Amino acid sequence: MMIPIFLFFLLSSIFTVEAQQGQSIVKPGSILTPTTNSSWLSPSGLYAFGFYKQGNGYAVGVFLAGIPQKTVVWTANRDNPPVSAQVTLNFTSDGRLVLQSAQGTETSLANFDPASSASMLDTGNFVVYNSDNQPIWESFQNPTDTLLPTQRLLPNDSVVLKSSVSESNQSTGRFRAIMQQDGYVALYPVGTNLTIDYGYWSTNSGIPHGNLNLDDHGFLYVTNSSFNFTLSPSRNSAKGTVLYRLRMEDDGFLRLYSYNLQEQNGSWSIIWSPLNETGVNRCFPRGVCGVNAYCDPGGNDINCTCLPGFVFIDESKRTLGCQRNSTTENCNEKGMMEEVPNIIWENVTYSQSLLPTKQDCDDACLQDCSCEAALFNDRVCRKQKLPLRFVNIKLPIDSDATLAFIKVRTPTPSEPTPSSEGTVTKKKGLDTLFLCYFLFSYALPLL
């Protein structure tokens, strides 16, 4: 019985995956599993489409399989939880790509008309074809966090590069890169309007209706039918000897990487990033330190600080933000309002009123059980609830005279009192950070 079974699987693999015209053609009936026959390779074996390890399970995507450092460049259903080793990936007889659980439940990997074949190309593009051998879906037109050579980012608000949570977690993160209609490449937090209030970096020139392109020599540029604008110049490398990829990273910045295939122990090297530009620092991305926290621009690392009365949600992952250092059981619990100098945050107001002085605004928030913070400017008092997003140190050239107040309560006894690193309660500390920001920052050429 073993020989017929072996021949069956051998013949199945021959008839469902064929090599034609430099492509690995995958036909309906092909199946992948996480632990055996886990991917479909490109002709050279450089790229693969299939299962890769994520967390305690597996995800499906495109990754570099031909180098020791397996690198994910695209993920299907990136915000779904990892799947178990018992699932199968089926290219069904009616032309669908689905994940099937051990119980028979199906999850579609992509939406397209009935397909007749698919192919993992050496460019890193996974393409699905109809019966006329015309592409009906491809990973290059549905990017996650990475742009590969020959792939383009078009001026389309719905097709953007969104950062992953981390290097090892490909779920959608907090930042995005977009090719705008006016020809600027710009960076924004996920879930915000595409306005100057939220944008934190853009190219210093734009080409209307341009596309962002990356070629085989690491040339990163914006182009339309008439003009080019260079972000990163071409490298002197023979085609096929160096890999390139542009990635939107979890710290809010784009980075262009290279990998020399001729080096025995190669590794990815950064060859371009907005961080290379004069005046750009790690604190530019809005909300890089999470909610109820702000970023100190001094140094090369992201240095987060909690607002007064808050502690880090996770001391080991400070960019997750901060939470109250006390629990409120009684609205009348004793507290106080503390002014936070040189700090501003997103103005999301649930109530505003005209009041003559900042002390009146202070008192109004303190007596309001719903009020956790307040902004006061030009006799307008704006009350706010938590969380406070996009907390920033104000630029020295900023003419905004808004004053910020936080409601501070006595820390809950069972919880540790926040250290001087976790929260700042002295004006001197914030004034020092304000000076640092003056030294390390300048106004960006945003739209």
Same fold, 17-141 and 293-440: no
Closest residue by Cα to residue 212 from 202, 222, 204: 222
Residue 42 has pLDDT above 90, yes or no: yes
Judged by average pLDDT, the poorest of 57-66, 405-414, 430-439 is 430-439
In angstroms, the Cα distances linking 313 to 250, 320, 364 are 18, 7, 29
CATH class of 17-141: mainly beta
Letter string b/e over residues 265-289, b meaning 16 or more CB atoms within 10 A of that residue's CB: ebebeebbbbbeeeebbbbbbbbbb
Q: Are 284 and 252 in contact (CB under 8 A)?
A: yes
Please state the domain extents for the chain. 17-141, 146-276, 293-440
367-386, pLDDT tens digit by residue?
999 999 999 999 999 999 99
Contacts of 80 (CB under 8 A, 6+ apart): 107
Cα(335)–Cα(363) distance, integer angstroms: 11
Residue 22 has pLDDT above 70, yes or no: no
Check residue 411 and give its pLDDT.
72
Q: Are 260 and 240 in contact (CB under 8 A)?
A: no
115-139, pLDDT tens digit by residue?
999 999 999 999 999 999 999 999 9
Stretch 153-159: mean pLDDT: 89
The helix (run of H) or strand (run of E) holding residue 2 is helix 2-16
Judged by average pLDDT, the poorest of 73-87, 147-161, 256-270, 410-424 is 410-424
Check residue 420 and give its pLDDT.
39
189-222, pLDDT tens digit by residue?
999 999 999 999 999 888 888 999 999 999 999 9
Q: Are 180 and 143 in contact (CB under 8 A)?
A: no
Stretch 17-30: mean pLDDT: 70
Cα(413)–Cα(230) distance, integer angstroms: 57
**What is the CA 24 to chain-centroid distance, rounded?**
31
412-437, pLDDT tens digit by residue?
665 554 443 444 433 444 444 444 44
Q: Are 26 and 91 in contact (CB under 8 A)?
A: yes
Kindly report the average pLDDT of the chain as a whole number.
86
Judged by average pLDDT, the poorest of 133-142, 330-339, 348-357 is 330-339
Residue 2 has pLDDT above 50, yes or no: no
Give the CA diameter of the chain: 91
Stretch 390-396: mean pLDDT: 83
Single-letter amino acid, residue 375: L
Judged by average pLDDT, the poorest of 183-192, 235-244, 344-353, 407-416 is 407-416
Is the domain covering 146-276 a CATH 3.40.462.40 domain?
no
In angstroms, the Cα distances linking 354 to 8, 381, 383 are 80, 6, 12
Check residue 401 and give its pLDDT.
82
Is the domain covering 293-440 a CATH 3.50.4.10 domain?
yes
267-276, pLDDT tens digit by residue?
999 999 999 8
Closest residue by Cα to residue 253 from 219, 276, 225: 276
For 417, half-sphere exposure in the C-beta direction (CA atoms, 13 angstrom radius) is 5
